[in-house]
Structure 1
C-alpha cells in the first residue's frame, strides 16, 4: 500500500478507477454520454491531479485506490477551480456544464462544518471486489481519524455501497439528489472517537 501516487503510477491508477466506476450513477450523470469511457478516464485523471494529489492517495497496484482530502483541504480555491475548468468542461460537455457545476456546488454545501477527512473516491477493480481490499485501502486514514479525533465524510450515489461503508463506522446523515434530474446521493459521516 502506498500513500502517494508517483508520476509513473498515475496512468495505472486512472485506468483502475475508470474500470471501477464504469457503472457508477454519479459519473454516468456527470460525463457526457458520447465517448463516455474517454470522458470518465479524463474525469478520474482530473480528480487525481487537481483534488487528490494535494491530499492523499492510498493505492494497491492493480487492485484499487482511495483518494482522500485531509481536514480543511477538500474545498478548491479560485485558482484551483480555474485550472480544473477545462477538464470539467471536456467531461460534461459545454451545454451541460452549468447544470453539472450547480450540482457539484449543491453537494459541496452539504459538507460537515467540523474538521474531517474527505473520502473523494474509493475504487476497487471489478475483478478484485469482495476480497477485503476496501478495508486495506480505508484502514490507514481511518486510523489517522481515530488517532487525531477527526471525523470522516463521503458521498455515494450507489445504494449498494451503503452496507460496505456502514461496516467501517459511516452512517447516512442525509439523502438528497445531486440535481432534480440527477441521481440520488447519500452523505455519510464517521464520527470521531469520543
Structure 2
C-alpha cells in the first residue's frame, strides 16, 4: 500500500537514497557524472543541505519501504552560508570533475528561473517509475500549497506528468558540450 507523508529529518538519508536510485539513468545526472558513483553523495548534499527547508521534503513508502521522494523549496527560501558551504563541499566530493558542469547547469537554471515568488520543486523521483509514485508525491504537496510552483524537468518523458498537474513548459534549455535538453515548467 502506497503512503506519502512529509519526510522527517531522520528520513533525509532515505530521501537521498531513493533519489540517487531514481536518477541513475537521468540524462542530466549522467551528463554531470558519466559514471555512477557520486550520485548518492550529490543527492545527500541536496537533501541534507541545499534543499533542506523544514517540512518541505516528502517521502513515498510502499509497505514501509521508501520508493519515492520529493524536495521542495518554499517561496523565498535560501540556505545559510554554513549550509551552502557544507552542501557545496559534499557536491564537490560526489561530483568531482562533474562539478564544473554543475556550475554551468546552475547558471542555466538561474537565467531561466522566472521572476517572483514560487514553490520550487528541486527533485522528484521514484525508484520504480510508472507506478504512480510521482503523481502521489505531486498530489500531496500541491494540495497543500498556495501560489505558483516551478520546476525543471530533466527528462522529456516526465513533462506530461507535470502537465497533468497544471505545469506548463515555459522554456527549453540545451546544455553545452553535447549536453541534454531540459524543460522549465511553471504552474500558476
TM-score normalised by the chain length of structure 2: 0.85
Q: 2:39 touches 2:95 (CA, 8 Å); kept in 1?
A: no
1:26 corresponds to which of 18, 23, 28: 28
User: Which ranges in structure 2 are unaligned for 5 or more consecutive residues?
Assistant: none
Distance 2:115 2:108 in 1: 15
Distance 2:86 2:9 in 1: 21
In structure 1, the residue matched to 2:67 is 63
Shift of residue 14, structure 1, vs aligned partner: 2.1
Distance 1:144 1:111 in 2: 23
In structure 2, the residue matched to 1:131 is 131
Greater strand share, structure number: 2
In structure 2, the residue matched to 1:110 is 112
Q: 1:116 touches 1:151 (CA, 8 Å); kept in 2?
A: yes
Distance 2:71 2:187 in 1: 16
CA spacing shift, 1:139–1:54, aligned 2, 3 Å: same
2:89 corresponds to which of 58, 83, 86: 86
Provide the alpha-carbon RMSD of the alignment: 2.0
Q: Check if 1:3 corresponds to 2:2.
A: no
Q: 1:30 touches 1:92 (CA, 8 Å); kept in 2?
A: yes
Distance 1:17 1:106 in 2: 22
Q: Check if 1:183 corresponds to 2:185.
A: no
Shift of residue 79, structure 1, vs aligned partner: 4.1
In structure 2, the residue matched to 1:172 is 169
CA spacing shift, 1:50–1:155, aligned 2, 3 Å: same
CA spacing shift, 1:122–1:170, aligned 2, 3 Å: same
* Mean Cα deviation higher: 177-186 or 109-118: 177-186
TM-score normalised by the chain length of structure 1: 0.83
Shift of residue 13, structure 1, vs aligned partner: 2.2
Q: 2:135 touches 2:161 (CA, 8 Å); kept in 1?
A: no
